[in-house]
Amino acid sequence: MTRIVVLGAGYTGMAAAIRAARKSRRHGGRVTLVSASPRFTERLRLHQTAAGQRLADHSIEDVLAGSGVAFVQGWVEGIDPQAHEVRLGGGRVLAYDKLVYALGTVTDVSVPGVGEHAFRYDDHAGAVALAERLRSTRQGTVVVAGGGLTGVESATELAEAYPRLRVVLLSRGRPCSMMGPRARAHAERAMRRLGVEVRQDTQVVKVLPDAVELEGGERIDSVATLWTAGTRGLALAREAGFTVDARDRIVVDAALRSVSHPDVYSVGDAAAVSQPFGVMHGTCQGGIPTGLHAGGALADEVRGRTPKPFRFGYFHQPVSLGRKDAVIQFVRADDTPRKGWLRGRWAIMYKEMVSGSPIHSFKLLKRGLIPAAALKLSSG
Ligand SMILES: Cc1cc2nc3c(=O)[nH]c(=O)nc-3n(C[C@H](O)[C@H](O)[C@H](O)COP(=O)(O)OP(=O)(O)OC[C@H]3O[C@@H](n4cnc5c(N)ncnc54)[C@H](O)[C@@H]3O)c2cc1C
């Protein structure tokens, strides 16, 4: 018997666990999935949660039903890679032969006040807390810090849901800078239409309980500040002795195994995965293929085979702009924009398909079917 323990039941841990169980069960693989909450968080929709929308509740047990994966609810406190053990809250210890580290990332709180005063998308509760704050707020300014795709999705969603509030998006560079000019112009038009005030080339130096302070001393009063300007891995990978990058993500080899501890795979946001175009950045688009790959590679190892290298190419940048608009930028494998893009009704449908597809994919995976899109993405 080979004990495979998967840490983290986000999109990537779920994909890894279901695929590993499906492919290794007949050869003695026994998969246990550990995660903090019994609820499966659709992280792709946290900006919708922040805007007060009621979304479907998925329990991890339900998603896993019939997959052969055992679920353990617990908070991972530490890993001892020499003893092959994971320490959970409450003193419980889980032994493993192979480990998948899929604990994602948390908000980088290095700017003073972010950890204490900013709302963050670290978990479902963080988005719910923001929704509760805004529901009871009659007027004032909501500051969204970070002009990446999550910041733009959040600013537009909040502006549409709470028209009585002023929404200010603060960005170090130009928002949606990774998109092509036409898709970016569409996102900018949507932000203007929804009344989002964009301040680019701005650096926040401090978050206060009721304001943010900018470089140069300017202060913007704020009833709530949402921080989307950077993430990093949990300290526990570094503390356990794994080789990590500057953002505490586990550095992996071509097959997604830790370069320092090859019996440990790392996937999704928690992994620093090198491809010919550079190190992948955290997306579900790239994360699910890493989970699928690790699940398959583990099954290969259980059967005495050598795991294959992982190859990936980006495909799109899907961005919602509230519930009534969206923009999709199609990209080359290295995430640089192609000519093609979508907006309006087609883009809304496309984005909804992207956000809803992981739950459907897990159902297919349980039957041994890998969604064609995921295979296409992971074949580079
Ligand atoms: C608002 C928003 C919109 C996004 N939109 C897109 C998009 O359109 N397309 C796209 O590709 N990507 C998008 N992303 C990024 C995408 O959500 C992430 O890349 C993806 O969720 C990473 O999956 P993961 O499994 O690696 O990590 P996560 O989804 O973060 O899962 C980590 C899991 O580990 C658990 N965990 C963490 N710490 C512990 C611990 N110590 N003990 C036990 N359990 C623990 C968590 O509870 C969670 O279950 C978006 C992100 C946000 C916030």
- pLDDT of 368 reads 86
Residue with CA closest to ligand 1 atom 20: 284
State which of 37, 43, 59 you would mutate to test the pocket of ligand 1, scoring each by most atoms of that ligand within 8 A of its C-beta.
43
pLDDT in tens, 276-331: 999 999 999 999 999 999 999 999 999 999 999 999 999 999 999 999 999 999 99
Sign (positive/negative) of CA torsion 101, 107, 111, 117? negative
Q: Euclidean distance between the first and final Cα of the chain, in Å?
A: 33
Q: How far is the CA of 305 from the centre of ligand 1 (A)?
A: 30
Ligand 1 mean position to 271 CA, how many Å? 12
Nearest to 232 by CA among 244, 241, 219, 221: 244
pLDDT digits (tens, 9 = 90+) for 117-143: 999 999 999 999 999 999 989 999 999
What are the pLDDT digits (tens) for 344-355?
Answer: 999 999 999 999
Which residue's CA lies nearest to atom 7 of ligand 1? 44
Which of 284, 292, 330, 362 most suits a substitution to test ligand 1, by most atoms within 8 Å of the C-beta? 284
How does residue 378 score in pLDDT terms, banded at 50, 70 and 90? very low
Nearest by Cα to 322 from 223, 227, 191, 225: 191
Test site for ligand 1: of 5, 44, 329, most ligand atoms within 8 A of the Cβ? 44
Count Cβ atoms below 10 Å from residue 206 Cβ, excluding itself.
15
Backbone angles phi, psi at 75, to 5 degrees: -95, 120
The atom of ligand 1 lying closest to the CA of 291 is: 25
Spatial separation of the C-alpha atoms in residues 99 and 264, rounded to whole Å:
5
Pick the atom of ligand 1 nearest to 354's CA: 8
Q: Convert the chain into a string of H (helix), E (strand) and C (coil).
A: CEEEEEECCCHHHHHHHHHHHHHHHHHCEEEEEEECCCEECCHHHHHHHHCCCCCCCEEHHHHHCCCCCEEEECCEEEEECCCCEEEEHHHCEEECCEEEECCCEEECCCCCCHHHHCECCCCHHHHHHHHHHHHCCCCCEEEEECCCHHHHHHHHHHHHHCCCCEEEEECCCCCCCCCCHHHHHHHHHHHHHCCCEEECCCCEEEEECCEEEECCCCEEECCEEEECCCEEECHHHHHCCCCECCCCCEEECCCCEECCCCCEEECHHHEECEECCEECCCCHHHHHHHHHHHHHHHHHHHCCCCCCCCCCCCCEEEEECCCCCEEEEEECCCCCEEEEEEEHHHHHHHHHHHHHHHHHHHHHHHCCCCCHHHHHHHCC
Give the nearest ligand 1 atom to 284 CA. Answer: 11
Q: Measure the CA–CA gap between 134 and 151, rounded to whole angstroms.
A: 17
Radius of gyration of the chain (CA): 21
* d(CA 142, ligand 1 centre) in Å: 24
In degrees to the nearest 10, what's the CA dihedral of 151, 153, 159, 161?
Answer: -130
Tokens of 234: 């949990």
What's the mean per-residue pLDDT of the chain? 96
Taking 80 as the threshold, does the pLDDT of residue 371 lie above it?
no
Confirm if 241 and 257 have CB atoms less than 8 A apart.
Answer: no
176 pLDDT band, cuts 50/70/90, is very high
Cα–Cα dist 357/344, whole Å: 20
Ligand 1 surroundings by CB, under 6 angstroms: 8-13, 35-37, 41, 43-44, 46-47, 75-76, 102-104, 121, 123, 150, 153, 234, 268-270, 282-285, 287, 318, 354
Q: Whose CA is nearest to atom 51 of ligand 1?
A: 44
Q: What is the pLDDT of residues 199-256, one digit of tens each?
A: 999 999 999 999 999 999 999 999 999 999 999 999 999 999 999 999 999 999 999 9
For residue 51, what are the contacts with CB-CB under 8 A and spacing of at least 6? 131, 157, 158, 160, 161, 162
**Distance from the CA of 11 to the center of ligand 1, in angstroms?**
7
C-alpha span between 7 and 31 (Å, rounded): 11
User: Tokens 């549409």 appear where?
Assistant: 160
pLDDT of amino acid 369: 83
Residue with tokens 């550990």: 34
C-alpha separations of 5 from 95, 236, 361 in Å = 8, 16, 21
| Structure token pair of residue 376 | 């296409």
CB neighbours (10 Å) of residue 256? 24
